[in-house]
């Protein structure tokens, strides 16, 4: 027992002594420097000259790291000047008064079994859609999207707490643009800039009426130019959109895309979205294209489209292989001629499928969208110089552009005002369009809506207004009018003419 107590006492005394000794040594080590203790330093890499090939230059050392830290701290005083913040208030103040709210009103038509059997008038249901427009001139001309007004039988413009009835001046499905006019003067026309001077990364703002929220302003940057997204289904589509990440939603269509000076650079047109709302990708028609379309629609009522007489595709590795061209090239500059009309101006001038077009006049062409945009500035009868490559040899030719009918003449609208029908008739590529229908018109009584295109009468195709006039003069009894409404819905309307 005594032996056990002795062992316990010895152990206790030894433990106390060990704790005291360790505490003393630790305190002493904290007070005195120890060169052998590990040290941690910030490691940096300095730029090396080509001549510095020593092993010390390859891996950072403690001295080099310390030297880098010192150099970085000493350079804080000579930091780059601050970039001034972007202010959108002035651009918004200038552009907002020039953007209007547009209502497109149409009458939907529904038929029942009894309409077909007894020639009863079809049922009608009022349909309303909205969008935006940009005041181009102080005397009431407004630019908007074709899809905003294409289905309209009546167009209303809400501006400055007033409602104006608008007249449709003309449309251009190729660019999805349209021009309308209201009876007003001294309007604040927007300042028009140049989309060719817009740069990727430049700040822009979008002004419009999304979700019926009037005069909404959003900001973003130009994220790309010359985009083709395949939304235009016209025979001669021109897609060279300005892409922006400024928030654009339904109702923004036809509104303004402006730069930080408040100058118009584009007409907001489309979004790419799985939900139908903004998800980061929005597109605008360049104002340089819009300016040409506006001028033609106001002057002629129809765009004077310049036709090249062929199609081009992107010149890349895949298409080069497809057309049996050399793929071992330094760069794929230009666009590839894919097909040519046998009697078209390009073929007659000497171009052939497989040629690579590099320039139109002095403008370099590197994408299909650039080619289409450059042609959109031209009119029938204009002559362009085309530079191209064939079999590794460069050459140039002059091509005289034509209109959609193959001539260099000005294309004019064929409009006839028919008093006995109480409407205006216009020949189109699909048939005869009926518009400006009066309240007492026989056409309105039998259920033909505004802007309806008559394609056939009693299943006989019609192309000229005179054919429609003769039908109503001579036909009596039951008949059928086959055509297409503003929503491109094809229908057959039964009629009975006494």
Residue 198's nearest CA partner among 168, 162, 243 is 243
What does the pLDDT read at residue 176? 94
CATH 2.70.50.60 fits 86-302, yes or no: no
pLDDT tens digits for 363-402? 999 999 999 999 999 999 999 999 999 998 999 999 999 9
Exposed (0-12), middle (13-18) or buried (19+): which is 262, by Cβ within 10 Å? Answer: buried
Q: Check whether 257 has a pLDDT greater than 90.
A: yes
Q: How many helices (H) and strands (E) does the chain have?
A: 11, 25
Q: Is 112 a catalytic residue?
A: no
Query: Which of 68-77, 94-103, 353-362, 422-431 has the weakest average pLDDT?
Result: 68-77
pLDDT tens digits for 27-69? 444 444 444 443 333 333 333 344 444 444 433 444 444 444 4
Instruction: Look up tokens 């605008």; give the residue.
Output: 284
Is residue 413 within 8 A of residue 300, CB to CB? The reply is yes
Q: Which of the following is catalytic: 176, 245, 288, 296?
A: 176
Q: Which of the following is catalytic: 129, 132, 147, 376?
A: 147
Of 87 and 333, the structure prediction assigns the larger pLDDT to 333
Topology of 310-400 in CATH? Pdz3 Domain (2.30.42)
Distance CA 404, CA 394 (A): 30
The boundaries of every CATH 2.40.10.120 domain in the chain are: 86-302
The per-residue pLDDT of the chain, averaged, comes to: 83
Residue 235's nearest CA partner among 169, 311, 167 is 311
Q: 286 φ, ψ to 5°? A: -55, 140
Is residue 257 within 8 A of residue 281, CB to CB? The reply is no
The boundaries of every CATH 2.30.42.10 domain in the chain are: 310-400, 415-497
Exposed (0-12), middle (13-18) or buried (19+): which is 119, by Cβ within 10 Å? Answer: middle
pLDDT tens digits for 210-253? 988 888 999 999 999 998 888 776 767 888 999 999 999 989 99
Topology of 415-497 in CATH? Pdz3 Domain (2.30.42)
Q: Check whether 113 has a pLDDT greater than 70.
A: no
In the structure, what pLDDT confidence band is assigned to residue 15 with cuts at 50, 70 and 90?
A: low
Q: Which of the following is catalytic: 253, 296, 359, 369?
A: 253
Q: Is 253 a catalytic residue?
A: yes
Residue 251's nearest CA partner among 237, 275, 271 is 271
Q: Is 54 a catalytic residue?
A: no
């Amino acid at each position: 027992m005594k032996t056990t107590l002795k062992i316990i006492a010895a152990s206790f005394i030894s433990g106390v002594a060990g704790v005291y000794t360790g505490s003393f040594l630790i305190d002493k080590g904290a007070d005195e420097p120890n060169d052998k203790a590990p040290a941690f330093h910030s490691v940096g890499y300095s730029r090396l000259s080509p001549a510095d090939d020593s092993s010390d230059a390859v891996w950072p050392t403690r001295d080099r790291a310390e030297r880098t830290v010192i150099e970085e701290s000493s350079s804080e005083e000579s930091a780059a000047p601050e970039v001034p913040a972007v202010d959108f208030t002035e651009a918004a103040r200038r552009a907002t008064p020039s953007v209007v709210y547009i209502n497109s009103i149409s009458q939907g038509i529904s038929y029942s079994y009894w309409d077909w059997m007894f020639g009863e008038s079809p049922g009608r249901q009022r349909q309303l859609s909205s969008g935006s427009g940009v005041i181009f001139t102080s005397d009431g001309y407004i630019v908007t999207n074709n899809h905003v007004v294409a289905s309209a039988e009546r167009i209303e413009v809400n501006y400055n707490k007033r409602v104006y009835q608008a007249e449709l001046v003309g449309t251009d499905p190729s660019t999805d643009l349209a021009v309308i006019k209201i009876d007003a003067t001294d309007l604040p026309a927007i300042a028009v800039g140049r989309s060719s001077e817009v740069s990727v990364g430049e700040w822009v703002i979008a002004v419009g009426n999304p979700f019926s929220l009037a005069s909404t302003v959003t900001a973003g940057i130009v994220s790309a130019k010359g985009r083709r997204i395949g939304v235009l289904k016209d025979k001669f589509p021109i897609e060279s959109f300005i892409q922006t990440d400024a928030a654009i939603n339904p109702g923004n269509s036809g509104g303004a895309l402006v730069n930080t000076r408040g100058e118009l650079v584009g007409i907001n047109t489309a979004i790419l979205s799985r939900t139908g709302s903004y998800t980061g990708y929005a597109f605008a028609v360049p104002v340089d294209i819009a300016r040409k379309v506006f001028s033609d629609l106001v002057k002629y009522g129809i765009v004077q489209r310049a036709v090249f007489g062929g199609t081009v595709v992107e010149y890349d590795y895949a298409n080069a292989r497809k057309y049996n061209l050399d793929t071992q090239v330094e760069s794929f500059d230009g666009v590839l001629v894919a097909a040519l009309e046998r009697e078209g101006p390009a073929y007659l001038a000497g171009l052939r499928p497989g040629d690579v077009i590099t320039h139109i006049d002095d403008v370099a062409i590197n994408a299909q969208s650039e080619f289409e945009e450059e042609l959109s500035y031209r009119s029938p009868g204009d002559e362009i110089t085309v530079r191209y490559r064939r079999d590794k040899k460069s050459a140039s030719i002059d091509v005289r552009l034509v209109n959609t009918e193959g001539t260099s003449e000005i294309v004019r609208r064929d409009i006839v005002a028919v008093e006995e029908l109480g409407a205006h008739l216009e020949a189109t590529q699909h048939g005869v369009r009926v518009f400006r229908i009066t309240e007492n018109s026989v056409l309105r009584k039998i259920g033909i809506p505004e802007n309806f295109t008559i394609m056939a009468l009693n299943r006989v195709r019609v192309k000229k207004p005179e054919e429609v006039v003769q039908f109503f003069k001579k036909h009596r009894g039951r008949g059928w009018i086959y055509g297409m409404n503003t929503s491109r819905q094809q229908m057959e309307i039964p009629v009975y003419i006494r």
